[in-house]
Amino acid sequence: MADVLTTGPELWTHSIRNPATPEVATSKWKDFNTLLALTAHNPDAQTTPALADHTRLSRVTLAMALEYSPGTRLGKNTAMHVPAAAQWLLIAGKEIEEMCEVGMESMNAGDLWAERGGGDVCDVARLQFWKERLRDFGY
């Protein structure tokens, strides 16, 4: 859970040296995640150890964006996270599906996912939940 609490676009709105508006922070977060998704999708990147296996990072962004209710810290910032999550599925959807089919990755469950009986494993059921939530947000 430490990763979820120390990452995300809301941190850029509190930067002392270069504070960003929520809109700019959302755009930066989307761009950052787009780069990660492009790397995860690129077969050539998978042969470079420092770039390989970036698909694992998608689970953090997807959970942060889609698994928390509005009353939680992450849930109140959902609008800042959802565009980045959508980029992951748009660009590296095949790789994310493969990761979830194997079911070897995990991420702490957000309250909305847990209420549905979901656990920490990133499996096909969780992927379907993420896709449903993105559709609910118009993606």
Domain coordinates in residue numbering, the chain: 2-136
The token duo for 17 is 């040296």
pLDDT at residue 2 is higher than 60 = no
CA–CA distance, 103 with 106 (Å, rounded to integer): 8
pLDDT over 90, % of the chain: 73
The C-alpha atoms of residue 40 and residue 10 are separated, in whole angstroms, by 24
| 7 pLDDT higher than 70 | no
What pLDDT, on a 0 to 100 scale, did the predictor assign at position 112?
98
* Mean pLDDT (the chain, rounded): 90
State pLDDT tens for residues 32-83: 999 999 999 999 998 988 888 889 999 999 999 999 999 998 899 999 999 9
Q: What is the pLDDT of residue 21?
A: 85
Contact 54, 39 (CB under 8 A): yes
Show the tokens assigned to 110: 């957000």
Residue 121: beta bridge partners? 106
- pLDDT, mean of residues 18-32: 87
Within the chain, how many helices (H) and strands (E) appear? 6, 0
pTM of the shown model: 0.88
Query: Tokens at residue 139, please?
Result: 């993606």
